[in-house]
Amino acid sequence: MRRSWALFGLLFTVGCSAFGWGGRELKPGSDAAAWVEPDQRTVLISTLGGACEESAKVKVQETSETVEIRVTVRSSDGPCVMVGIPRAYKVVLREALGSRKLVGGDAVEYPRAEQRPVEGSAEYKIPVEVEYD
């Protein structure tokens, strides 16, 4: 029984430190979903994060056929607990999404969220830089 608790503790504390300062890119489907507001220009990329996340960079590239949104989350080094903090990264597109595909950096289409994402409490907000190509 003691061994089980030790393994459980290790899995929950490794979380963020495994990715280090270099960051990890969120993957559509396994990590993130998209919500498109009725104006078709505002997109929220929703995910669950950890307490050790320090900042995020969102890169947006629009073409006539696709809108690529890459979200990279940077975390502090050291052990931390992956507690499932709701986060939503907001992007305002230059043009309405329309029939264009909404994809991640690997060209995989984002699944659509069934509900508007909750951004979480203010104490867990992190700085987000949005960069447009």
Helix (H, G, I), strand (E, B) or coil at 30: coil
User: 53 Cβ partners below 8 Å, 6+ apart?
Assistant: 16, 73, 74, 75, 85, 87, 126
Band of pLDDT at residue 82, cut at 50, 70 and 90: low
Contact 73, 52 (CB under 8 A): no
Give me the pLDDT at residue 127, please: 93
Neighbouring-strand partners of residue 28: 32
- Residue 120: band (very low, low, confident or very high) from pLDDT cuts 50, 70, 90: confident
pTM: predicted TM-score of the whole model, two decimal places: 0.80
Alpha helices in 1-133 (DSSP H): 2-14
Contact 93, 41 (CB under 8 A): yes
In this model, does residue 103 exceed pLDDT 60?
yes
